[in-house]
A and B are shown apart, each in its own frame.
Chain A
Amino acid sequence: MDEETRMPDRLSVLLGTKKGLFILDGDRARRSFALRGPFCAAWPIGHAIADPATGTIYAGGGNAWFGPAVWKSEDFGASWTHSSQGLAYPEGEEAVKSVWSLALAPDGTLYAGVEPAGLFASHDRGATWRHVSGLSAHPSRPHWNPGGGGLILHAIVPHPADPARLHVAISAAGVFATTDGGASFEPRNRGTRADFFPEDQRYPEVGQCVHSLVMAAGLPERLYQQNHCGMYRSDDAGLSWHSIEEGLPSSFGFPAAAHPRDPDTLYFVPLNGALEGRYVPEGRAAVWRTRDGGTHWQALRQGLPQQNAFFGVLRQALATDPLTPAGVYFGTGSGELFASADEGDSWFSIACHLPPIHSVETLALSD
Chain B
Amino acid sequence: MSAPVRVSLPAALIALFPGAPCELELSAATIAEVLGALDQRFPGMRDRLADSTPRVRRHISIFVNGERASLQTPLAPGAEVLVMTAISGG
Q: Which residues on A are within 8 Å of B, measured CB to CB?
A: 41, 64-67, 69, 82-85, 87-96
Contact = CB atoms under 8 A, between A and B. Distances in A.
Contacts of A88: 47, 51-52
Contacts of B85: 65
Given A41-B15, A83-B44, A85-B44, A67 B51 contact: yes
Contacts of B47: 67, 69, 84-85, 87-88
Contacts of B58: 64
Interface in B7-65: 12-13, 15-16, 43-44, 47-49, 51-54, 57-60
Contacts of A87: 47
For chain B, which range describes its interface: under 10, 10 to 19, 20 to 34, or 35 or more residues? 20 to 34
B44 A84 contact: yes
A96 B51 CA distance: 8
Interface in B71-90: 85-86, 88-89
Contacts of B60: 65-66
B52 A91 contact: yes
A92 B54 CA distance: 7
Interface of B: 12-13, 15-16, 43-44, 47-49, 51-54, 57-60, 85-86, 88-89
Dominant SS among interface residues on chain A = loop
A94 B51 CA distance: 9
Contacts of B52: 88-91, 93, 95-96
A201 B56 CA distance: 42
Given A88-B52, A89-B52, 8 more contacts: A41-B15, A65-B48, A65-B57, A65-B59, A66-B49, A67-B48, A83-B44, A96-B52
Nearest to A83: B44
Nearest to A66: B48
A84 B46 CA distance: 10
A20 to B, nearest CB: 13
Quick one: which of A65, A90, A93, A94 has the most chain B CB within 10 A? A65
A93 B44 CA distance: 20
B17 to A, nearest CB: 10
A341 to B, nearest CB: 35
Given A88-B52, A91-B53, A91-B54, A66 B89 contact: no
B44 A41 contact: no
